[in-house]
Amino acid sequence: MSLLHHWEHEFDKVKVRLHGLVTRLEMSWQKLVNELEPEEFEAIVKLLQRGHDQAQYVIKHGELPDDEPAVPWELAHGLSILKIGNPSPLPQTVAELPTQVLKDGTLLGCRKWELLDLLWSEALLKWIENLRHHATFATNPALVKMDSDVVLAIAGDWGTGPFDSHAPAVAVANQMQLAEADFTIHLGDVYYAGTHSQEDVDMAGWPQGKQGSFTLNSNHEMYSGAHGYFKELAKRFPVQQGTSYFALYNDDWLVVGLDTAYASDAMNLYMDGTLNTQQIEWMKTLPKRKKLMVLSHHQGFDISGHNKTALYQPVCDALGREPDYWYWGHLHNGICYAPQGGLHARCAGHGAIPYGTTSELNGHVRVLWSETQLAGDEAYPLRVLNGYVKVQLKGEEIVETFYGEDGSVRWSSQ
């Protein structure tokens, strides 16, 4: 079967699944409309319009406009699906829009996981259904003592499945198993919308650490109001005590895992990291150690490492200082940044989602490494290697190694 025929077959399967989604989306939209104030309704329609216009612009010009902030691509098909206005149609098939790589590494196309994949509409559906219905925020965070010699295996944006295939998530999980980590940590994002069934299926193959595993909340988990996320904690991540933030410590290190999604702005689809009061007060009580590491879904820098995000300073203020190391996901890239001040920042959001070479980072002085090696994937010829990062702590020392899904060392601090 040719690749084109393969994707045509996949599109036919998507249409069947999408029919049910569209029906539910229309019903949920009507229910929400009845609950909304007029200004809220106008704001959502404006968001959907911006999502549609953004897609049209990028298809025509090849990149995002410089003078307007991006909106989540989950909104792109919203106007059409909800039959709001008379929007011009967007491409829906590989034949209509061959895949191209944007400068941030995202894949513009219509195949599974690409920016115009119709099934991202499930995220829009769950966002609408849960806009005012969030799970209760738990406040019993785990404080776990580590050995002085400990191995962490960290991957972000990994929750894609399926595990009866050769999907990148499977290959990355297999490599993580080889690390024989004491703790494995998922930096968040279970797709498409962090529902209970998706958490149950997509996290089924998560490699467990010898002493425990943790998973962070994220924008995709919040689309379902974090209901599926908190249920998954109880089932598969018992060490986490049902709470979306935690800390690990020994005599030398404090490792702090944060929920940067729960308090994020729902009207921006939880895209920007934020801390709530409960976490800030808890962070101030944590034991002080010479070495400090932060784990979060949302990033502390923009993709180039040039500008700090709104999350950066609140994290530093709550902890009383700048972290020595900070690992985040959210951006579907593998990136090591050059030290800035005392901070070594890393993006490990390349756990499973297909992405391409991030050309805007080429030659950038603040980037030590970003993934550029093609994965040799016939289904996604432009995809580069997915992977994870292994972190070894021994006393005050740290060794970081980014591994590709093929087992190759992609970057190491040694």
Does residue 1 register a pLDDT over 80? no
Six token digits for residue 99: 């895949």
Does residue 13 register a pLDDT over 80? no
Q: Please report the sign of the dihedral spanned by the C-alpha atoms of residue 157, residue 163, residue 165, residue 170.
A: positive
* Distance from C-alpha of 40 to C-alpha of 208, rounded to nearest angstrom: 43
In 3-state terms the chain splits into helix, strand, coil percentages (rounded to 5) of 35, 20, 45
Q: Are 386 and 376 in contact (CB under 8 A)?
A: no
Does residue 316 register a pLDDT over 70? yes
Q: Are 359 and 338 in contact (CB under 8 A)?
A: no
- pLDDT, tens digit (0-9, with 9 covering 90-100), for 353-409: 999 999 999 989 999 999 999 999 998 999 999 999 999 999 999 999 999 999 999
- pLDDT, tens digit (0-9, with 9 covering 90-100), for 109-135: 999 999 999 999 899 989 988 998 999
Q: Which residues of 377-414 are buried (b: 16+ CB within 10 A; e: fewer)?
A: beebebbbbbbbbbbbbeeeebebbbbbbeeeebbeee
Q: From its phi and psi, is residue 395 left (phi > 0), alpha (psi between -120 and 50) or beta?
A: left
First to last CA, the chain: 45
Q: Are 158 and 164 in contact (CB under 8 A)?
A: no
- pTM attached to this predicted model: 0.94
pLDDT of residue 2: 58
Six token digits for residue 373: 């090696």
Which is higher by pLDDT, 179 or 82? 179
Cα distances (angstroms) measured from residue 356 to each of 22, 65, 170:
30, 20, 19
The mean per-residue pLDDT over the stretch 139-162 comes to 95
User: DSSP label at 213?
Assistant: E
Q: Please report the sign of the dihedral spanned by the C-alpha atoms of residue 164, residue 169, residue 171, residue 173.
A: negative
The mean per-residue pLDDT over the stretch 327-352 comes to 97
Does residue 339 register a pLDDT over 60? yes
Percent of the chain with pLDDT over 90: 80
The mean pLDDT of the chain is 93
Helix (H) or strand (E) run with residue 345 in it: strand 344-348
Residue-range domains of the chain with CATH:
35-128 (no CATH), 140-410 (3.60.21.10)
Residue 97 CB neighbours (<10 A): 18
φ, ψ of residue 186 to 5 degrees: the values are -95, 125
* Distance from C-alpha of 403 to C-alpha of 225, rounded to nearest angstrom: 33
410-414, long-range: CB < 8 A, 24+ apart: 410/334, 410/369, 410/371, 410/373, 410/385, 411/334, 411/336, 411/368, 411/369
* pLDDT level of residue 38 (50, 70, 90 thresholds): confident
pLDDT of residue 36: 78
Radius of gyration of the chain (CA): 21
Q: Are 58 and 64 in contact (CB under 8 A)?
A: yes
Q: Are 294 and 326 in contact (CB under 8 A)?
A: yes
Six token digits for residue 391: 């972190």
- The beta strand positions in 89-224, using DSSP E, are 100-101, 107-108, 142-145, 149-155, 183-186, 212-215
Does residue 59 register a pLDDT over 60? yes
* Listed residue (198, 185, 208, 204) closest to 229, CA to CA: 198
